[in-house]
């Protein structure tokens, strides 16, 4: 397939006796550890923090939902990932309270049967009854959608005899040896080493020479908890923003409103402007909730985003070698004339989960575990998610060049 030049999957596969080292104990890293452990691998997961889910995955509540409109690759991936969540996450962790997607215009209806099957269209009155609050438009009702507390899910995933958690270990560099990769600390001590290393440390992959070139950006965002004195909300209500009911189980009047988006943020911090924006958004979704003016709890974090908004899942390209081997890609030579794409042996990534990390993590973990264990059943999906896809696109456009030999 000419459109897949340079995206061939790595040909090496690992014996499950090889332990895997995973950097980053957020949703991505914990999902990969869990999926590899299920396939018989021993895993060590290393994080700079004392506890798991201490960075972006520290968000107290995240929505798990499909995309019911559009037939893009992003929608297909999200919907597979959503199905995967419905079939694999424990019911006491994935709280399937349902979601109402407000219909702004009926032109934005689901496009295919698969997505139609996930949602039913309710008139405004019926949608209001389901939500237990007055709504102002018709809505698609997605009964299986819901929310999770990511830290609870991460802890659940790591609760496996084949997984060891190594806290308070910041990896500052990766050093290649004859055997594999050493994870080095700031004072150049070897934290651990293995022939199989997975980078799941979101935007911080930029700290490593081998992954510095990956085109990722950070999108800041905030959610806020507001007390409602209206009737208790029963479902998630969503448009371009969302509100989630009763995520503090003892307190059903506390609703979450999210999330704001700020492109290219270097740091995250809670701001009054975002709290005000979340309050306005919540009031426009469900005007009868009667929210208190001040937020009782706020959380801000950084999403790690890719240019095409799909995660990066797969082997890490050896960029210098890639630029050399594929330097005349823009001239359109046949696929057979190119060597196999050069990857750093044993080095993989699961990053760039963006705004849908809670929905996508379990599926991403499963895809990467399949690739590593030599199961190419999902080859086509994995090719679409290869970290090298951006390099290929740049080479095709003549925008990337090999350095001096």
Ligand X SMILES: Cc1cc2nc3c(=O)[nH]c(=O)nc-3n(C[C@H](O)[C@H](O)[C@H](O)COP(=O)(O)OP(=O)(O)OC[C@H]3O[C@@H](n4cnc5c(N)ncnc54)[C@H](O)[C@@H]3O)c2cc1C
Q: Footprint of ligand X on this chain (CB under 6 A)?
A: 23-29, 46-49, 54-57, 59, 62-63, 150, 170-171, 200-202, 204, 207, 221-223, 258-259, 301, 303-304, 353-359
Contact present, 269 and 261 (Cβ < 8 Å): no
- Calculate ∠ Cα 217-223-227, nearest 5°: 175
Give the count of beta carbons closer than 10 Å to the beta carbon of residue 264: 9
**Closer CB to ligand X, 223 or 254, in the complex:** 223
Least distance to ligand X from the beta carbon of 216, Å? 10
What are the two backbone dihedrals, phi and then psi, of residue 292, each rounded to the nearest 5 degrees?
A: -65, 155
**Closer CB to ligand X, 199 or 315, in the complex:** 199
Which residue has tokens 């349902």? 98
**Closer CB to ligand X, 25 or 131, in the complex:** 25
Least distance to ligand X from the beta carbon of 58, Å? 7
**Closer CB to ligand X, 200 or 372, in the complex:** 200
Pairing outcome for strands 20-23 and 197-199 = parallel
Residue 365, both tokens: 């973990």
Contact present, 226 and 257 (Cβ < 8 Å): yes
Least distance to ligand X from the beta carbon of 52, Å? 7
**Closer CB to ligand X, 48 or 319, in the complex:** 48
H or E, element range at 367: helix 357-372
CA-closest candidate to residue 31, choices 150, 154, 159: 154
**Closer CB to ligand X, 28 or 68, in the complex:** 28
Least distance to ligand X from the beta carbon of 10, Å? 22
Least distance to ligand X from the beta carbon of 399, Å? 27
Least distance to ligand X from the beta carbon of 333, Å? 36
Question: C-alpha distances in angstroms, 306 versus 65, 225, 310?
Answer: 20, 29, 6
**Closer CB to ligand X, 165 or 326, in the complex:** 165
CA-closest candidate to residue 119, choices 251, 230, 236: 236
Burial of 326 (0-12, 13-18, 19+ CB in 10 A): buried
Strand order in the sheet with 139-142: 120-122, 139-142, 99-102, 236-238, 242-244, 254-258, 217-227, 297-305
Least distance to ligand X from the beta carbon of 275, Å? 12
Least distance to ligand X from the beta carbon of 381, Å? 18
Give me the residue whose beta carbon is nearest to ligand X.
357
**Closer CB to ligand X, 59 or 282, in the complex:** 59
Which residue has tokens 């909300």? 233
């Amino acid at each position: 397939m000419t459109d897949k030049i340079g995206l061939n999957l790595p040909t090496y596969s690992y014996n499950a006796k090889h332990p895997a080292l995973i950097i980053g104990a957020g949703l991505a890293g914990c999902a990969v550890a869990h999926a590899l452990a299920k396939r018989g691998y021993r895993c060590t997961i290393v994080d700079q923090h004392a506890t798991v889910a201490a960075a972006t995955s520290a968000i107290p509540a995240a929505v798990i939902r499909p995309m019911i409109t559009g037939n893009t690759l992003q929608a297909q991936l999200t919907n597979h990932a959503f199905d995967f969540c419905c079939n694999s996450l424990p019911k006491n962790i994935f709280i399937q309270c349902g979601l109402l997607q407000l219909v702004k215009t009926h032109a934005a209806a689901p496009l295919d049967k698969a997505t139609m099957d996930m949602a039913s269209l309710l008139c405004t009155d019926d949608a209001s009854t389901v939500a237990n609050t007055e709504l102002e438009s018709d809505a698609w009702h997605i009964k299986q959608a819901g929310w999770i507390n990511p830290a609870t899910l991460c802890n659940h995933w790591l609760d496996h005899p084949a997984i060891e958690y190594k806290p308070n270990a910041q990896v500052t560099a990766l050093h290649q040896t004859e055997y594999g990769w050493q994870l080095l600390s700031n004072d150049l001590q070897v934290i651990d080493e293995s022939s199989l290393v997975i980078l799941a440390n979101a935007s911080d992959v930029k700290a490593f020479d081998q992954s510095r070139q990956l085109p990722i950006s950070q999108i800041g965002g905030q959610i806020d908890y507001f007390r409602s004195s209206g009737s208790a909300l029963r479902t998630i209500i969503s448009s371009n923003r969302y509100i989630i009911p009763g995520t503090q189980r003892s307190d059903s009047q506390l609703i979450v409103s999210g999330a704001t988006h700020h492109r290219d943020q270097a740091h995250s911090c809670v701001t009054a402007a975002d709290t005000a924006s979340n309050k306005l958004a919540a009031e426009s979704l469900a005007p009868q909730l009667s929210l208190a003016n001040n937020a009782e709890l706020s959380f801000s974090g950084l999403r790690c985003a890719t240019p095409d908004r799909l995660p990066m899942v797969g082997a890490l390209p050896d960029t210098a070698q890639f630029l050399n081997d594929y330097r005349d890609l823009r001239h359109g030579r046949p696929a057979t004339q190119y060597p196999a794409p050069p990857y750093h042996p044993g080095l993989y990534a699961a990053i760039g989960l963006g705004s849908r990390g809670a929905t996508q993590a379990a599926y991403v973990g499963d895809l990467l575990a399949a690739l590593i264990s030599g199961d190419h059943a999902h080859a086509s999906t994995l090719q679409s998610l290869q970290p090298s896809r951006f390099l290929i696109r740049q080479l095709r456009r003549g925008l990337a060049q090999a350095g001096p030999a």
